[in-house]
Structure 1
């Protein structure tokens, strides 16, 4: 029986903005072939990447590289959680939230340089109603935007911002009951983000103090949103600052439960999941091995 390659690259051919860059050619050119053997596989359908990643881990592959955007990263991570196989990222999406948080270069050559160095650490992940996420999950407006964006043919930050500006006026806050850190809160919810990493992607920071290795999730609750609060929240997200107390409230927790009077949409890593009226969110400490740049 032949030895399985050290590295499996899982490429999502539909990820991110259209580009003439031949990723497979860049891999063959810039990977350290004296150090690593490799293979390249392509996803054929949604949900294929977890299968390909899990298969590689079961065969003893040292590293699986997610070549795509946040959705591809989420799928590959799902196949590698609680295994000894590390995930690396070659960013090809429009947001690239986890790659940016981990300071993985956005260009293929830079990302492959990090892969060649082979520095591995363990990070937390989370689950929302048993759906794993590695950057953020959320209920309310951001999940609604995820559902609309999923059906849009346009991609990129500009299209995302245009969609938010179009929809924000029509989305209404809803009453929720929150159980967190031994407290119960009856409050309104425009959006509630559960952040393992600090940002959604595109350097839009929803939880600037989030630490991906601390065994905690950072929760950002926006109760109601008027124009002034929206401007303050947007400015703080783009400048990596905590929003003013009257715009958002922050919590740190290992576990949170949310119940709603009527079903609310939710997402995991920007991918729309569904609409329910009860949410159970947990952190999974140090559950995923990842390849990151060496700290200077």
Structure 2
């Protein structure tokens, strides 16, 4: 059975959840009341299911909590968060190679691109039926002077404009008007980055996005395609061409959308200079001369 192009696993393959694990940031306004309501809804759907409340205490704690939960039993791990919090949970689950955990996210962040791009499903109904689906992840490997670093993304990986927009929005404050002003300021200060392809050719870009989902940065539609379980991801590029081209691309993304983009199963390059990188909602800084390999981890995550 399928749901808008998303594989759904049924016919006896649906798991029996031995518990639900709610992972969330207790510092967010109104979170306590929301978790209490969610707990009651889950218990009403499945009265015999245990519900574990797992508040985070520091940045990166969600990954630790998810890893611990995924290492035993058959939990349903619910991240009540935005894209960044869900990224931590997904990576914690992927740390356990033999896990039987099922993941999902309920939006509770500033940006909820992943949730908005997935089919609408009523959580308690899905829990009651126990049907799950498998989706792809992006696996990024960073190879430099030290040991390889591997991380997973549930939605997108961006270089250039995308992470700088995230940094600008964080500094400029929340709210649509403030965020759009922050994006405008970011465009005025953006510098191109240079990369080297596997064949030795070099290229300069203003923006490079590798995406599973169709929507990102809250207001933009980067692709017409939205099928996160086909072993492919979209490559959205903007070669260095001047600020007016960047402005037009940004405007098109938030109005008409960018249309269909090339699909690949892997993408690799080497950074020629240090550049910021946004993995889902989180920004990391990549040193110069880092080999980057991004591939589709097909059906890596089981979700509901």
TM range (shorter): 0.7 to 0.9
Q: What is the RMSD of the two structures over their aligned residues, measured on CA atoms?
A: 2.6
Which runs of no fewer than 5 residues in structure 2 stay unpaired?
1-16, 143-149
Q: What's the CA shift for 1:283?
A: 1.6
CA distance in 2, matches of 1:214, 1:91: 25
Q: What's the CA shift for 1:139?
A: 1.2
Partner secondary structure for residue 273 of structure 2 = strand
CA distance in 1, matches of 2:184, 2:164: 13
Partner in structure 1 of residue 180 of structure 2: 161
Q: What's the CA shift for 1:251?
A: 2.9
Partner in structure 2 of residue 87 of structure 1: 103
Contact 2:113 2:217 (8 Å CA) reproduced: yes
Partner secondary structure for residue 272 of structure 2 = strand
Distance 1:227 1:189, change over 3 A: closer
Contact 2:25 2:31 (8 Å CA) reproduced: no
Partner secondary structure for residue 190 of structure 1 = strand
Structure 2 counterparts to residues 216-255 of structure 1, below 5 A: 216-226=232-242, 228-239=244-255, 241-242=257-258, 250-255=261-266
Q: What's the CA shift for 1:192?
A: 0.5
Partner in structure 2 of residue 61 of structure 1: 74
Partner secondary structure for residue 275 of structure 2 = strand
The count of residues paired between Structure 1 and Structure 2 equals 273
Which runs of no fewer than 5 residues in structure 1 stay unpaired?
244-248, 292-296
Correspondence 1:187 to 2:186: no
Partner secondary structure for residue 280 of structure 1 = strand
Partner in structure 1 of residue 155 of structure 2: 135
Partner in structure 1 of residue 164 of structure 2: 144
Partner in structure 1 of residue 281 of structure 2: 270
Given the alignment, which residue of 16, 19, 36 partners 2:49?
A: 36
Partner secondary structure for residue 169 of structure 1 = helix
Q: What's the CA shift for 1:124?
A: 0.6
CA distance in 1, matches of 2:217, 2:126: 20
CA distance in 2, matches of 1:148, 1:275: 18
Q: What's the CA shift for 1:20?
A: 7.4
Given the alignment, which residue of 246, 260, 272 partners 1:261?
A: 272
